[in-house]
Amino acid sequence: MININKNARREDLLFTHDFACLFDEEDCDNNEINTVKKWYSNNKNVEYISLGLIVPNWDKRIGAIINTAIGNNGLVLFKTVLDFDQTVKNKIPKHHYAEMQCNLAISKRCWCDYVLFSIEQGFCYTERVYFDSVYFHEFLYPLMSEYLGDLSE
């Protein structure tokens, strides 16, 4: 679990990156992602389910696009690094943790496998993260709600 500073500003958690070398799936070579997705699928003996856009009935202001669901309980989040070093190893950046918790809450799933990889350096780190109801409902969702405000405004 990530240690949360209850006095953190939403900008610190949701909108800044902990490591400049991290970037998301849409920013990297699809061949790398497909290679890692195939490796994970073969290694875990699973097939991905695409759920598409999910907008929860409890808040129409938010949603998640889920392309890598597994069975009825799991998700996978793939992230890549340009330059792996010891500062990244065995740590889940706060913004990735927040993304997983949002995706889990919205999709009503129990766990998400976090897969951080660098094809060039032959590095892959995986960790299973479970839904943290207290973190989501008492910290993250209130920050999101404050940021989004009332849709009727």
| Domain residue ranges in the chain | 10-147
Residue range 5-15, pLDDT digits in tens: 344 333 333 33
Instruction: Report d(CA 46, CA 42) in Å as an integer.
Output: 7
Stretch (H or E) spanning 12: helix 10-14
Q: Indicate the residue type of 45.
A: N
pLDDT (0 to 100) of residue 99 = 95
Q: Which residue has the higher pLDDT, 69 or 121?
A: 69
| Average model confidence (pLDDT) across the chain | 77
Q: Which CATH architecture has domain 10-147?
A: Alpha-Beta Complex (3.90)
Residue range 90-143, pLDDT digits in tens: 578 888 999 999 999 999 999 999 988 877 777 778 899 999 999 999 999 999
Which residues in the chain belong to E strands, given as ranges?
22-23, 52-54, 64-66, 69-70, 74-81, 111-118, 123-130
